[in-house]
Amino acid sequence: MTNENQSTVPDKPILLADVSSCYSHAWRQLWKNFFELFLIAMICLLIAVPTGILSVIEEEGGIVAFYALTMSILYSVIILNPVDYGVSFAFLKAARSEKIKIQDMFEVFQNYLHAVLANILTGFIIGFGLICCIVPGIILACKLAFVPYLIVDRKLDAIEAVKESWRMTNGHATTVFLIGLLGVFIAILGLICCFVGIIISLMLIELAFATLYYVVSLKDEENKLIQSK
């Protein structure tokens, strides 16, 4: 006879560092935190508007285009890219089932200088790889995928974040690549569904990457705990 007092609440799904598990968890967390994440995505989109305006001016040519290009690069380096790091942190909190606040996307300013330096450093590293050959650039991008989280979540400096991301992605770089590859098709599907569809698609992809970092971090902590015993 079945025990009536037995809990009927299903166990939490086990998170694995693979594409299916990361996207499944991302899908669940997306709808649990949809309003907050959507609002954060919209604010980020508004912050990116000046780069779009400057891009239009660049098409005019001449000295004005040169100044517009310079301003666009400076704005991206100083404002837009660091905010993107903050957005990644907000999505990481969603992946960890933590309470999300809109101001989480500005948490990056607690480690602002290193966010700027890390973005420049990773840009040069990945850019160099792409110039040498496309494949090395893709590999380097996968190995440095955790840098934004390490900068904002752990408050590491730029060099430490690059080194730690390189270490943490050992054995997981292929998963990073496959999450990104699948993300391309998800984004295309989102485009077919028009504006709201592409925003939701990008939110899902961002959550999948954040989930992978979260899972790898948990495994990392477990390994360190075992080694300390």
Task: Give the residue extent of every domain in the chain.
Answer: 19-216
C-beta atoms surrounding 127 within 10 Å = 13
Sign of CA dihedral 47, 51, 54, 56: negative
> pLDDT at position 52, please?
86
Of 177, 185, 176, give the one whose Cα is nearest residue 210: 176
User: Residues 149, 210: contact at Cβ < 8 Å?
Assistant: yes
| pLDDT (0 to 100) of residue 225 | 80
Closest among 45, 150, 46, 37 to 101, alpha carbons compared: 37
pLDDT tens profile 120-132? 999 999 999 989 8
Specify the pTM: 0.90
Q: How far apart are CA 208 and CA 212, in angstroms?
A: 6
Distances (CA, A) of 75 to 1, 22, 63, 147: 68, 32, 18, 20
pLDDT per residue as tens digits for the range 66-115: 888 889 999 999 999 999 999 999 999 999 999 999 999 999 999 999 99
Please spell the DSSP secondary structure of 188-225, one letter per residue: HHHHHTHHHHHHHHHHHHHHHHHHHHHHHHHHHHHHHH
Statement: residue 228 has pLDDT above 80 = no
The residues near 74 (Cβ < 8 Å, ≥ 6 apart) are: none
Most confidently predicted of 47-61, 185-199, 215-229: 185-199
| Cα dihedral value 43, 46, 51, 57, nearest 10 | 180
